[in-house]
Homo-oligomer: A and B are copies of this chain.
Amino acid sequence: MARVTIAHIAERLGVSKASVSYALNGQPGVSEATRQKVVAMAAELGWHPSFSARALSRSRADAIGMVLRRDPTLLGTEPYYMRLLEGVEDVLSDAGQSLLLRMVGTTPGRDTAVYERWAGEGRVDGVIVLDRAIDDPRPELLTRLGLPFVLHGVLPGNEGGAERIEDQHRDAQLLVTHLFELGHRHIAHVTGPLALAHEVDRRDAVAQECAARGIEVDFAEADYTFDTAHARVAELLGSGIRRPTALVFSNDVMAVAGLRALADADAREISLVSWDDSMLCQFSYPTVTALERYPDRAGRRSAAMLLELLDGRKWSTAAPTPSTLVVRESSRPARP
């Protein structure tokens, strides 16, 4: 079980370690004949480059990291993250890179410690940052640490927020248009935490789309959990005056909570749509109209962008995949 090294290969072939290294890495500096002998011998001996030796000499870890900050319980129930990871992992493994995963819960500052450690130890070459917050301290921290990063869902160079990959506007338009066409003229949007940049974007986009169509809109802030969303809906309905005829939820769990709240309030005639699709939306009763946002493709994009950034290549600006609205039972014509 002793490790096969380039020294062994060099010895067997009677050449220098340098030649072996060049041959194995496809670098110039070896004759084609030598290269072939080396490659054949490496295959025969079952040689693999020692990851740590290579990392040390190249100062490259060949790994990228992701810190998930949400509540672990929620993480398990939101397919969004698994699908995102799947896309990221797919691109990384094709590139021979590893994915380091860390889940830190919601305690503030725990992610910071992870980044500091990763940077200090040289354990990852870069990171993908999720769930960008308003005044997010992470870009500055990562810059200070010298750790390359990509903000998931944001174009590089546009951290200011001018141009977003995840186009909340287009998504808002899909949702609002759908409700408008069903005759809804008064809706409410139950958002996620407004400390998250994309939730603010969504709220603003919904407001704008509604204004453009003469739809009245109310907003309520929740935190992606079932219970909070349930409570918000109960409040919206209980406040009495003028009820919305349709509700928009920023994720699938809250949408399903909305379903329950409507049933509890005997207000099943109210329509409802979700910003995230999942099996929850597919199998709830009634089934929930939702946006398919292709999180795996978004993950692929972020991973590809990070690799390009690490290679110093120019980012290739392929357009993100537009979302699709999956119409199900929960959205119906507004009652006349």
Contacts and interface: CB of A to CB of B under 8 A. Distances in A.
A283 B296 contact: no
A56 B50 CA distance: 8
A284 interface: yes
Contacts of A256: 279, 283
Contacts of A117: 48
Contacts of A50: 56, 121-122
B83 A82 contact: no
A75 B296 CA distance: 12
A225 to B, nearest CB: 11
Nearest to A4: B120
Contacts of A183: none
A260 interface: yes
A76 B77 contact: no
How many copies of this protein are present in the complex? 2
A83 B79 contact: no
A279 to B, nearest CB: 4
A97 B50 CA distance: 19
B83 A72 contact: yes
Contacts of A102: 89, 93, 98-99
A59 B2 CA distance: 12
Contacts of A49: 121
Nearest to A2: B146
Contacts of A59: 52
A219 interface: no
A99 B119 CA distance: 16
Given A46-B120, A121-B50, A279-B280, A86 B76 contact: yes
A45 to B, nearest CB: 11
